[in-house]
Amino acid sequence: MKTKPLAFSAAAMVLLLDQVTKFVSRNYLLDGIPKDVLGNFFRITLRYNYGAAFSISWGGPIFLSVFTALACFFLVKYMLTVTDKKLMFWLGIILGGAVGNLVDRIAMGKVTDFIDIGLTGWRWPTFNVADIAICIGGIAVFFLFKGTKRLEVPTKEMENE
């Protein structure tokens, strides 16, 4: 399979999985009422995020929608120039997650979250499949770039050698 179709297929799969799980959560869970999956550690709890990551109030839903749409545009533009298959795949995963949350913001003005993990006295902020894709994709891209050689900017000392 060619690089670009693989990446965009990965994005489509993340988007589909994200939207299906959010649809099920919205239709079968009561807002804020946790359902234990693995005891108190892993629960599903329907919540809505009106802000950015971790519900941080940052610019409002219109700003966040425009910001995310622009980020997706530039990500796709960059993806069209990339030839590395691993990098393309992980960028596709990130794109699918970003579009998944963007769809929620445009359709509802908020993002549906439902994955709830933690211990009795401490809980991680509730999140969704799109958030997982963005985080794992970002970590993978970081490690892919970490392993590449950096271009050195020529200095005067180098010119004299």
What confidence score (pLDDT) does residue 50 get?
A: 84
For β-strands 42-49 and 111-119, DSSP reports them as antiparallel
Predicted confidence (pLDDT) per residue in 86-98, tens digit: 999 999 999 999 9
Residue type, 111: V
pLDDT of 156 strictly over 60: no
User: Considering 18, 104, 116, 131, which one is annotated as catalytic?
Assistant: 131
Cα–Cα dist 72/99, whole Å: 7
How many Cα atoms within 13 Å fall on the side-chain side of residue 119?
Answer: 2
User: Considering 18, 104, 113, 116, which one is annotated as catalytic?
Assistant: 113
Tell me the average pLDDT across 58-68. 81
Of the chain, the percentage scoring pLDDT greater than 70 comes to 84
Residue ranges per domain, the chain? 3-144
Output the CA–CA distances (angstroms, integers) from residue 99 to 15, 27, 89, in the order listed.
7, 21, 15
What confidence score (pLDDT) does residue 4 get?
A: 80
Number of H helices, E strands in the chain: 5, 4
Residue 1's pLDDT band, with cuts at 50, 70 and 90, is: very low
Q: Please, which residues have CB within 8 angstroms of residue 30's CB and are 6 or more apart in sequence?
A: 46
Phi, psi (degrees; rounded to nearest 5) at 95? -60, -45
Question: Phi-psi bin for 64: left (phi > 0), alpha (psi -120 to 50), beta?
Answer: alpha
Q: How deeply is 2 buried, as exposed, middle or buried, from its count of CB atoms within 10 A (0-12, 13-18, 19+)?
A: exposed
63, 76 Cβ separation under 8 angstroms = no
pTM, 2 dp:
0.85
Average pLDDT of every residue of the chain: 87
What confidence score (pLDDT) does residue 79 get?
A: 93
Told to judge if 113 belongs to the known catalytic residues of this protein, a careful annotator would answer yes
Tell me the average pLDDT across 4-8. 87
